[in-house]
Amino acid sequence: MRYFVKSFEKENVTLTGYIHDVSNELKNAQIRPAVLIFPGGGYFMCSDREAEPVALAYMAEGYQAFVLRYSVGEKVPFSQSYEDACTALEYLKENSDELHVDAKKIAIAGFSAGGHLAAALGTMGKDKPTAMILGYPVILSSMGDGIYKEIPGLDEKVTAETPPAFIFSTSNDIIVPVENSLKFAEALNKNGVEFELHIFRNGVHGLSLAKPLTSNGERSMVNPVVAEWFTDSVRWLKEIWGDFYADHTSELEMTVNGAGIDTPVKLLLQSEGCEAILTEHIPNIREMLKENPMAGEFSLRIMNHYSPEIITGDMLEEMERKLAALQ
């Protein structure tokens, strides 16, 4: 794992990254989706309980994870916090290669006031994330009265271009009433934006992961029912983005299920009988793979599709018949 902290030339504004190492044994995860987290804290602070623990939880699920500690304080206007959010998302996209991030799969996860900031980026941002995860989010402009700040009402900012959202809240949250989540979901529905909404029966405000780790020792902050939101959010991300691919045939599968024209060429060459068939029809096959190692990941059928001058249709049929005879 690689860890870094980047400053944005503003006091106490940092982007912390938790990056998976690149491994030859994880070829299907060289580039990963990312989750950028905005902790809550009423725009007066950034809660540690909603920062690193959440980032590491998503990292454990295979995502690149980042935490933005944005501008906060009594005299800090919303516009300054919003500028920090835009800068952080822009940084992830501009440096996606170095960070091994799929720039088309960046979700913003925000809690309470951080949920307001995340929803603002999803509704108002010129450059938007591709998904939003909103935990007990502040949405309504009237909530600004309680924190003595002027904030936009984000239910009024939703358009058809707003990215999909996963929202969770509790019905008896007295700090950020459930109306905020309901109004936002209503606006998403009106504009044809996909969303998933979870309203849990019981739970105080600011639960984070709702587990002992993030409880600060308070019993009320542990709620096994609400804690299911995290697992549900990971499932939801996989539904909209897909999971890490796992469609290659392994050597074990080839041994059990038999080799054929849909088996990667590099695996066929590991079998003496299969290698003899390949070299009979493509004498320079090993030289070809030395020049282009990635070609070994392709099957004979795919090679025929993209390079019919190397593997003709007749050759493919002949090799298919001979490989089947080895079973």
| Predicted TM-score (pTM) above 0.85 | no
Neighbour count for residue 129 (Cβ, 10 Å): 24
Q: Which residues are registered as beta bridge partners of 15?
A: 6, 68
Q: What is the CATH number of domain 2-241?
A: 3.40.50.1820
Q: Would you list the domain boundaries of the chain?
A: 2-241, 251-325
Q: What is the pLDDT of residue 294?
A: 84
User: Tokens 């990292």 — which residue?
Assistant: 59
pLDDT at residue 262, rounded to an integer: 87
- State the Cα angle at 153 between 152 and 158, rounded to 5°: 110
Position 253 scores a pLDDT of: 55
CA distance linking residue 165 with residue 178, whole number of Å: 16
Contact 89, 106 (CB under 8 A): yes
> Which residues share a beta bridge with 16?
5, 67
Which parts of the chain sit beneath pLDDT 50? Answer: 252, 256
Convert the pLDDT of each residue in 165-182 to its tens digit. 999 999 999 999 999 999
- pLDDT for the residue 117: 98
The predicted pLDDT at position 252 comes to 47
User: What is d(CA 123, CA 153) in angstroms, rounded to the nearest whole number?
Assistant: 10
Burial 17-40 (b: 16+ CB within 10 A, else e): bbbbeeeeeeeeeebbbbbbbbbb
Number of C-beta neighbours around residue 147 at 10 A = 17
Residue 3 carries which side chain, given as an amino acid letter?
Answer: Y
Cα separation, 209 vs 131, whole angstroms: 19
- pLDDT of 292 reads 86
